[in-house]
Amino acid sequence: METSADPHHLEGIDREALRARYRAEREKRLRPDGNDQYIEPTGRFAHFLEDPYVERVDRKPRSADVTVAVIGGGFAGLVTGARLKEAGVDDVVLIEGGGDVGGAWYWNRYPGAMCDTAAMIYLPLLEETGHMPTRKYTFAPEIFGHARRIAEHFGLYEHALFSTEVTGLEWDSSASRWIVRTDRGDELRARFVTMGTGPLHRPKLPGIPGIETFDGHSFHTSRWDYAYTGGNPAGAPMVGLADKRVGIIGTGATAVQCIPHLARDAGELFVFQRTPSSIDVRNNQVIDPEWFATLEPGWQAAWLANFAILQTGGFADEDLVHDGWTDISQRIRDRVVADMGEGAFGPEAFRRAYEDSDDEKMTEIRARVDAIVEDPATAGALMPWYRQLCKRPCFHDEYLQAYNEPGVHLVDTDGRGVERIDASGVWVAGVHYPLDCLIFASGFEVGTDYTRRSGFEVVGRDGTTLSEHWADGMQTLHGLHVHGFPNLFVVGPGQAANLISNITHNLTEAATTIALVVARALQLGAAEVEVSDEAEQAWVELLEEADQTLLADPDCTPGYYNNEGRPLGRRERLNGARYPLGPVAYFEFIDNWRRSGEFEGLEFRVTVPMA
């Protein structure tokens, strides 16, 4: 491929050669087993799920009537609980598998963990709780601390059940109550239930032959074993690794953040790579308290709106967040506008503009690897050959530099993955790498069934399970309400705005809607609130109009963003669906829906007809 000296100068890019390279790299990675290549940490792998942070203390089973049971103590559950409390619903019981609130941020305490979305918009309820983020991008301990702050501020610790897994949820039609059962023997009869069970807490392991035979020490990044490594989540030196040969499998967003710390502290580090991540500039900064004090009340809503607009191709006078996410979309937008000036319109013109700006960005990203990594072979192997949005874009200013450390070895598997694991180490291309410690940065259950991720089934009215109702893909109104499952609310980004660059924005919007609906039901004395079949179907039809073709991009390397490169069926499309007019339009739509006071699509039933 020829490139000009100036990466901004697209004329120097041989597009045909680039496309051919992208396809060749994708071909190497395509596997017939797709998502099935991963194994669940159950049975002999169950220890990978154990909570290393708190001890499970025995307690008596709880039996109680509650107004709202909130399943999941991550940001989904916390913002829902907070909005319910604000609406005057006091009797809220949080149920959480971890030993505290925080969800993904409870589990993920690996060194260097931080959020790629700017703290000013990612951390929810900053104005309500009076917190100022310390940096533009905050590290995990501060995010976990903020989760705890929300729980404290809104009284959500009261009644909360931690280290408690829900095992089943069943609708009792005779009493219009949900029966919530847990692995502690609890039985709660809840008038309403919210489910914020998220995708990033259930680790998955690569199904590499021999994985069960490894005799050294091993753990998943979401259960970091500081007792073995030494150090702490704040980044103190991991003295336990000083004389160790450490291997890490995976080079996704998690690995990118912890590898610089391992490079610093391990005797020797072997990074086993299947696909390199794209690493753009991080440019983190400390937040100035004097500047923060000048922000007017209502600032966070304004920042959220500004980011959502710019991140999805809209226009605003100012880019308040000004980061890699808004940069990606403004490049595409500006190119579309420039092309329109030259008379190019329509979806084809948009696709062309998207491809051009992406080619430009990825050329820059590959040039950055070349400029930072000293060894040319290592630099070559670290260059990503796919479009930036095929995988999660990463932003870091120490990751690439880590490969210049003398004890750090990149073991590139050329898209094939680790060959096998044995008692003493890892094999790649016929070479054995002896290891003392093997860390799995192999990600989480994302594209799998919700029961596999949440660990429980939901049995609705008439005995239908949620798995049955969703056998052909998710079916909801606004991603929240499910027909046949009264008084239940699903809290997540899907089938609504689906703004993945700032997940918590989706969650606070959902929480605001839930609090309003619950307050309304209580005010009416309604025993049940449920979406009508017609309203649910109409919403699903609307979602199916949306163009999901970028997800199915033939130039995309496989990953969980695109069903591991396998064709998207109706089920996958529905599970990943978003409001056709985009996130900003959705936020406006749902705001109007709430303001109208009509609760269109929902049925409030004060008296329930006998079956």
Instruction: Print burial letters for 172-205: b (CB count within 10 Å at least 16), e (below 16).
Output: eeeebbbbbbbebebebbbbbbbbbbbbbbbbbb
- Can you tell me which of 133, 206, 231, 583 binds ligand NDP, judged by CB under 6 A? 206
Distance CA 338, CA 219 (A): 50
Is residue 388 part of the contact set for ligand NDP (CB under 6 A)? Answer: no
Structure tokens at 93: 């019981």
Nearer to ligand NDP, 263 or 441 (CB): 441
Distance CA 426, CA 285 (A): 39
Distance CA 511, CA 571 (A): 26
Size of the residue set binding ligand NDP (CB under 6 A)? 29
**Residue 204 Cβ vs ligand NDP, minimum distance, rounded to whole Å:** 8
Instruction: Print burial letters for 485-513: b (CB count within 10 Å at least 16), e (below 16).
Output: bbbbbbbbbbbbbbbbbbbbbbbbbbbbb
**CB 424: neighbour CB atoms within 10 A?**
14
Residues 108-147, interacting with ligand NDP (CB under 6 A)? 114-117
| Single-letter residue type at 100 | D
**Residue 481 Cβ vs ligand NDP, minimum distance, rounded to whole Å:** 26
**Residue 444 Cβ vs ligand NDP, minimum distance, rounded to whole Å:** 6
Is residue 506 part of the contact set for ligand NDP (CB under 6 A)? Answer: no
**Residue 150 Cβ vs ligand NDP, minimum distance, rounded to whole Å:** 18
- Of 98, 181, 243, the closest CA to residue 456 belongs to 181
Is residue 262 part of the contact set for ligand NDP (CB under 6 A)? Answer: no
Nearer to ligand NDP, 133 or 252 (CB): 252
Nearer to ligand NDP, 122 or 450 (CB): 122
Nearer to ligand NDP, 41 or 252 (CB): 252
- Can you tell me which of 84, 89, 255, 514 binds ligand NDP, judged by CB under 6 A? 255
Binding mask 340-379 toward ligand NDP (x if CB under 6 A, else -) reads: ----------------------------------------
Using CA atoms, how far residue 357 sits from 71, 274, 333, 360, 364, in Å, is 42, 26, 9, 5, 11
Distance CA 363, CA 386 (A): 10
Residues 391-420, interacting with ligand NDP (CB under 6 A)? 392, 413, 417-418
- Can you tell me which of 164, 218, 254, 357 binds ligand NDP, judged by CB under 6 A? 254
Nearer to ligand NDP, 92 or 421 (CB): 421
Residues 207-226, interacting with ligand NDP (CB under 6 A)? 208
**Residue 384 Cβ vs ligand NDP, minimum distance, rounded to whole Å:** 10
Nearer to ligand NDP, 229 or 413 (CB): 413
**Residue 250 Cβ vs ligand NDP, minimum distance, rounded to whole Å:** 3
Is residue 507 part of the contact set for ligand NDP (CB under 6 A)? Answer: no
- Can you tell me which of 7, 196, 250, 601 binds ligand NDP, judged by CB under 6 A? 250
- Can you tell me which of 229, 251, 378, 454 binds ligand NDP, judged by CB under 6 A? 251
Is residue 439 part of the contact set for ligand NDP (CB under 6 A)? Answer: no
Helix residue spans in 30-103 (DSSP H): 75-86
* φ, ψ at 49 (rounded to 5°): -95, -10
Distance CA 485, CA 461 (A): 6
**Residue 256 Cβ vs ligand NDP, minimum distance, rounded to whole Å:** 7
Distance CA 439, CA 437 (A): 7
Structure tokens at 177: 């109550």
**Residue 501 Cβ vs ligand NDP, minimum distance, rounded to whole Å:** 9
**Residue 114 Cβ vs ligand NDP, minimum distance, rounded to whole Å:** 6
**Residue 564 Cβ vs ligand NDP, minimum distance, rounded to whole Å:** 8
Nearer to ligand NDP, 150 or 441 (CB): 441
* 491 alpha carbon, distance to own chain's centre: 13
Distance CA 347, CA 365 (A): 26
Helix residue spans in 130-274 (DSSP H): 140-153, 226-229, 253-265
Structure tokens at 306: 């500004």
Binding mask 274-313 toward ligand NDP (x if CB under 6 A, else -) reads: xx--------------------------------------
Nearer to ligand NDP, 420 or 570 (CB): 420
- Can you tell me which of 384, 443, 479, 484 binds ligand NDP, judged by CB under 6 A? 443
Nearer to ligand NDP, 210 or 216 (CB): 210
Using CA atoms, how far residue 135 sits from 113, 143, 360, 397, in Å, is 14, 11, 29, 15
- Can you tell me which of 81, 252, 484, 582 binds ligand NDP, judged by CB under 6 A? 252
* Residue-level length of the chain: 611
* φ, ψ at 271 (rounded to 5°): -100, 115
**Residue 252 Cβ vs ligand NDP, minimum distance, rounded to whole Å:** 2
DSSP line for 526-547: -SEEEE-HHHHHHHHHHHHTS-
By the criterion CB under 6 A, which residues form the site for ligand NDP?
29, 114-117, 200, 206, 208, 249-255, 257, 272, 274-275, 392, 413, 417-418, 441-444, 559-560
